Amino acid sequence: MLKFFFFNAVHLSGTKYGCGVGGCGACTVMISTYDPVTKQIQHRPANSCLFPICSLHGAAVTTVEEVGSIKPRIHTIQERLAKCNGSQCGFCTPGKVMSIYALLRNHAEPSMEKIIAALDGRFQTVNCKKYNKGINIHSGLCNTEEFPPVDPTQEFIFPPELIVGLIDFWLVIGAACCLAQLRDILMKAVPKLAEEKTKIYQAFLQHLRTLAGEQMRSMAVCIQHRNIEMFLSCSTFDYRLNRLQFSPTDGKRQILLNDQFLAGCEHADLKAKEVIVSVLIPYSMKDDFISAFRQAESQKNALSIVNSGMRILFSPGTDTIVDLSILYGGIGSTILSARKSCEKLIGRQWNDQMLNEACRLVLEEIFLPPSALGRKVEYRRTLLVSFLFRFYLEVLHGLNQMVRTGQELHTHISVQAMSALGMLQSGIAQGVQIYQLSQTIHTPGQPPQDPVGRPIMHQSGIKHTTGEEVYIDDIRPVDGELSLALVTNIKAHTKIMSINASEALQVPGVVDVVTARDVPGENGKDEQAYAEDKVVCVGQIICAVVAVKIVYEDLEPILTIEVTICLLFNNRFRILELEYLLDHRREDKEMDVYVSTQHATDVQEFVASALNLQYNKIMCHMKCVGGAFGGKITKPLLFAVIAAVAANKTGHAVCFALERNMDMLITGRWHPFFGKYKVGFMNDGRIRAADFQCYINGGCTKDEFESVSPSLIPLIGQCIYILNLLVRGHACKTNLPSNTAFRGFEFPQAGLFVETCIVAVATQTDLPHEKVREINMYKRVNLTSFKEKFDAENLWKCWEECLDKPDYYSKKKGIAIIPMKFSVGFNATYFHQVTSSNQSLVHIYIDGSVLVTHGGIELGQGIHTKMSHRELKIPLSYIHLCETSTTTVTSGKYTAGSTGTEINARAVQDVCQILWKHLDPIQRDNPNGKWEDWISEGHKQSTSLSATGYFKGYVTNMNQDTEKGHAFPYFRFGVSCSENIGTDIVMDACFTINPAIDIGQIEGAFIQGVGLYTLEEIFFSPEGEQLTLGPDTYKIPAICDIPEQFCVYLLPNSCNSIAIYSSKGVGEARFFLGSSVFFAIQDAVAAARKERGLPMDFTPNSPLTVERICMACDDVFTEMVRLFSSLL
């Protein structure tokens, strides 16, 4: 594929590899080809991970390196994206640059709709921080970008099958036409034709808006795309399919896209020596109505759960059905036609009685068994009749519009029914970010070189946009380097009887097979690096390399917490950068380990223990990580051991990279959570007592559960003060891949559980939800349930501000406001300690330049950018931050829990103050000198210009036996209010070190939380095999999921006396605020249920997907499906 050609043959690493299936957009490049119809060069974005090199004949390929780089120049797109802080970890940013670059090459002044279309479906943006900025940055390029003229003489000869055009009464689609070309042609053609002729084309355009991402639309040939095949077949009477037969005596022939074509009849199918030339789609007629529908897990770039095409033809001037076609996709392995139902409805009038009969007939004819592939059987059956109802309304509305003045309407449509005809399209996202200026809250008269409190650009921002940031995956291979592949378990719970590697060793290129027997020392700790006697989940690593025969003995697996319990959470991490390691053995048994991790010291410890070596022999290197969020703490330890053992056995450097499906299978996920509660409350909503029981699915090993459980119980109270509270946590061991901690450290699960309890109390007392929250929230100075004293003043300020900003009390339904009290770090001093002696290391060189190293790892959170340059009082250009390495900083702790910046900045602050003490006598002797003068003089006087710094960590003293004490350093408060199109967030983080980065963290964490609570869902087979293993089956938020109104306010004068410069960590805390969208949806569902007189005490599970929303509404269609199913 093109991506690997760039890296291996051309040595270009700017294009990144994320998913391998065209779902993330990180690998986007621009393909330029000549269009003989328009006589112009067309520039299209493409997924290089899927693009065969052999298909590039006559095409030019542009990568991010050609757009711009640091050395010669950077492009305007790259510059604006970087300076406006439009990147986070930067792994996906080159793909984003290329998407916009390709757009601007085709459209010098694109509309906002085109900009959003260019970025939609790009799932890598889910964790990025500047959502609104990402769109607004690019919108500013519309009138400023100039491109070199294209020489029209440099033309290639292209086949005529690329042509799309209108001929007589037909739209002719060439077989080589891509979806984006078809969309552009239709958008130009529709305004030129009479409206009655374009019904089919308008339906086509509506379908194309949500189909795939722009890279797919630009490259996928529409004739062979399965979604378009479904659409083309929705009107089986008028389509003609032209096919060219190679035999010169037969020529061309046309076949109808009718039931015989769908059934695959021989005379209506493609023959061995035929190729498709074109498709002819006729104009629609006055009495013709055509619609297409699709429902997917997310708005864009998602496979349909069910899709449908429907067409009806009436007798002229009447509502009598002459012809009807109803087709469904997503129900079986092929497109299904409700032909029998349609035949029975011909001659009927288009009214409510016909609709009821049609629904019954369709449910009878389109059968979906309970064990159908794809799950969601009841929901999919509901969609069958829901689509039919929507089509009924559309047609009825069209018929009524055709009625002349004075004539009677065919059937009146109620206002409530009319609301179903609205097109739900995302608008252009706009936002506000408000914070205090640095000079008003930090040091008065702050010098210009002091970056604290200023929105300084991310230190690696330019390198992110040019693709020059070097991740582990970008390291060039060394001589003799070997690649390593994993052999994983295929059953949930088995004994290993034997491992036969003979066939693998006979395969050309295979050097060796590595198993547990090759581990000189400790084979992992809680979890084995290589399985030995027994495997406990699907995906557990058994050995390395390929084609190994393994004989198993089956054991009974345990897959869920309880057979009868539905899980509250079942999600995994969304990390774009795949696990990638390089272990390089050197002399004296030394080993360099390059790994994408959040904890270099643990990698060093595990590798040394596995190889039975001293720690000083293992050098772990980490420059930057392409996203982590807690998912790269424990699992990389095992991967490092696996690669290190292989390197030790073979004597060669070993490269180890996971493919996306393998990465999703074995790298862990959130702990699935189930909660039970008993609550005693008063009529005014005041909660007097609560009994909470929490069950957490830990998977097959403990992983981080021993850290998660002690943190979960103190945090479960959230902002609610409950005088009599009993909390019990239960760890459940199952035969599923081991779960691990993620952003929020189980607080998102616990917080949603408690807020669900609040909603239940509000429902029982018939009180507004916000009133129940207010009456139970902590008041000013309080004690937590574990007797830690804190001041809730900022919580109430955030609450009142957030009620005021969106004018909360004027809204009626579909709105929710959620408060948050979140702790920083861990309830143990040990984890806040940077290192034992070498937390930070600073060298000042004779030219005045400064090298800073510390124990924190750059994960995209801007830790290097935030390191305190204030202390040295020199410009940022003088300072360079080097990689994180165990050779410079020993015994470091996790970069996690939103503490990375705080504790490492303290260490850097300490070392800078030490160096200033060394330079103080020199400065006093020459007060008017420059920095360079002082350093030069210090060198002459043999003054130490190198030092180490230390920060012991925040002191906590939680007593686990008495369950009392000072558990956390401090708390962060925030409130989020969400409604159907907008979100307002207020945070008590006024004294931010870098407001641009921190507000981006708030926005990104919120959207990530929206995905957790409303989109992301994992499914397992009854045998314990994970079924969601890539972006095509596991959906995360994209640009289309950003609130149209997205406002973030940093509470003025919210000081934190504990952290450096009064700042507060923001990364994790804001994640939970995405639950406000969950509860806003729940409020809307409750309003719908109330209209039908249904009980209001329902409890939806998370994630609240489109399926769960539909089934919770319990409308006439879900009732119809249940009734029909009971009769089967």
Tens-place pLDDT, residues 307-339:
898 999 999 888 999 999 999 988 877 788 899
> Does residue 400 lie in a domain region?
yes
Enumerate the active-site residues: 1068
Residue 381 and residue 274 in one domain: yes
Residue 782 and residue 899 in one domain: no
pLDDT band of residue 55 (cuts 50, 70, 90) is: confident
Residue 658 and residue 714 in one domain: no
pLDDT recorded at residue 826: 64
Residue 847 and residue 974 in one domain: no
Tell me: the pLDDT tens digits for 1057-1108? 787 877 877 777 788 999 999 999 999 999 999 988 999 888 899 999 999 9
Beta-carbon-side half-sphere exposure of residue 191 (alpha carbons within 13 Å): 4
* Dihedral class, residue 724 (left if φ above 0, else alpha if ψ from -120 to 50, else beta): beta
Q: Is 339 annotated as a binding residue?
A: no
Range scoring the smallest mean pLDDT among 342-356, 374-388, 850-864: 850-864
pLDDT recorded at residue 1047: 93
| Dist. CA 325–CA 340, nearest whole Å | 10
Residue 220 and residue 124 in one domain: no
Residue 378 and residue 505 in one domain: no
Cis ω for the linkage preceding 369 (within 30 of 0): no
Extract the runs of DSSP E, i.e. beta strands, from 845-928: 850-854, 879-881, 884-885
Three-state SS letters, 476-534:
CCCCCCEEECEEECCCCCEEEEEEECHHHHHCCCCCCCECHHHCCCCCCCCCCCCCCCE
| Dist. CA 970–CA 954, nearest whole Å | 9
Asked if the model's pLDDT at residue 202 lies above 80, the reply is: yes
Strand partners of residue 673: 696
Q: Is 909 annotated as a binding residue?
A: no
Q: Is 897 annotated as a binding residue?
A: yes
> Does residue 651 lie in a domain region?
yes
Q: What's the distance, CA 463 to chain centroid? A: 22
Q: Domain containing 84 — which CATH number?
A: 3.10.20.30
Phi first, then psi, for residue 610 (nearest 5°) are -70, -35
| Dist. CA 585–CA 582, nearest whole Å | 10
| Dist. CA 538–CA 492, nearest whole Å | 5
Tell me: the pLDDT tens digits for 818-845? 999 988 766 554 454 443 334 789 999 9
> Does residue 1095 lie in a domain region?
no
Asked if the model's pLDDT at residue 185 lies above 70, the reply is: yes
Output 1056 or 530, whichever has higher pLDDT: 530
Asked if the model's pLDDT at residue 160 lies above 80, the reply is: no
Asked if the model's pLDDT at residue 676 lies above 70, the reply is: yes
Residue 315 and residue 370 in one domain: yes
Residue 344 and residue 406 in one domain: yes
Tell me: the pLDDT tens digits for 549-577? 455 566 666 665 543 233 444 565 456 67
Q: Is 660 annotated as a binding residue?
A: no
| Dist. CA 301–CA 38, nearest whole Å | 29
> Does residue 785 lie in a domain region?
yes
Handedness of CA 763, 767, 768, 769 (dihedral sign): negative
Q: Domain containing 892 — which CATH number?
A: 3.30.365.10
Tell me: the pLDDT tens digits for 1-42? 898 888 888 889 999 998 888 888 899 999 998 877 778 888
> Does residue 480 lie in a domain region?
no
Residue 836 and residue 824 in one domain: no
With a CB cutoff of 8 Å and minimum separation 6, the contacts of 497 are: 551, 552, 553
Q: What is the mean pLDDT of residues 150-168?
A: 45
pLDDT recorded at residue 554: 63
| pTM check: above 0.85 | yes
Tell me: the pLDDT tens digits for 605-632? 999 999 999 999 999 998 888 888 888 8
Q: What is the mean pLDDT of the chain?
A: 82
Asked if the model's pLDDT at residue 729 lies above 90, the reply is: no
Q: What's the distance, CA 242 to chain centroid? A: 41
Q: Is 780 annotated as a binding residue?
A: no
Residue 41 and residue 127 in one domain: yes
Instruction: Name the percent of the chain lying above pLDDT 70.
Output: 85
Among the three residues 380, 397, 421, which one is the final residue of a domain in this structure? 421
Output 1031 or 605, whichever has higher pLDDT: 605
Tell me: the pLDDT tens digits for 741-780? 788 878 898 899 999 999 999 999 999 999 999 999 998 8
Q: Domain containing 195 — which CATH number?
A: 3.30.390.50
Range scoring the smallest mean pLDDT among 224-238, 574-588, 868-882, 1080-1094: 224-238
Q: Is 675 within 8 Å of 694 (Cβ atoms)? A: yes
Q: Is 749 annotated as a binding residue?
A: no
Residue 538 and residue 624 in one domain: yes
Residue 312 and residue 196 in one domain: yes
pLDDT band of residue 409 (cuts 50, 70, 90) is: low
* Dihedral class, residue 39 (left if φ above 0, else alpha if ψ from -120 to 50, else beta): left
> Does residue 1041 lie in a domain region?
yes
Closest Cα to residue 729, out of 674, 688, 774? 674
Parent domain of 118:
2-139
Q: What is the rounded radius of gyration, in angstroms, for the C-alpha atoms of the chain? A: 31
pLDDT recorded at residue 143: 45
pLDDT recorded at residue 553: 62
Tell me: the pLDDT tens digits for 1033-1048? 888 888 888 898 999 9
Range scoring the smallest mean pLDDT among 134-148, 999-1013, 1038-1052: 134-148
Range scoring the smallest mean pLDDT among 70-79, 269-278, 590-599, 932-941: 269-278
pLDDT band of residue 369 (cuts 50, 70, 90) is: confident
> Does residue 1115 lie in a domain region?
no
Q: Is 598 annotated as a binding residue?
A: yes
Tell me: the pLDDT tens digits for 636-675? 888 999 999 999 998 888 888 888 888 888 887 888 889 9
| Dist. CA 1092–CA 865, nearest whole Å | 55
The DSSP annotation for 139-186 comes to: HTTTTT---PPP-TT------GGG-EEEETTEEEEETT-BHHHHHHHH
Q: What is the mean pLDDT of residues 276-291?
A: 82
- Number of domains making up the chain: 5
Q: Is 59 within 8 Å of 32 (Cβ atoms)? A: yes
| Dist. CA 557–CA 546, nearest whole Å | 26
Locus of tokens 């690649």: 483
With a CB cutoff of 8 Å and minimum separation 6, the contacts of 232 are: 239, 257, 279, 281
Q: Is 294 annotated as a binding residue?
A: yes
Output 938 or 1128, whichever has higher pLDDT: 938
pLDDT recorded at residue 585: 79
> Does residue 975 lie in a domain region?
yes
The three-class DSSP label of residue 678 is: strand
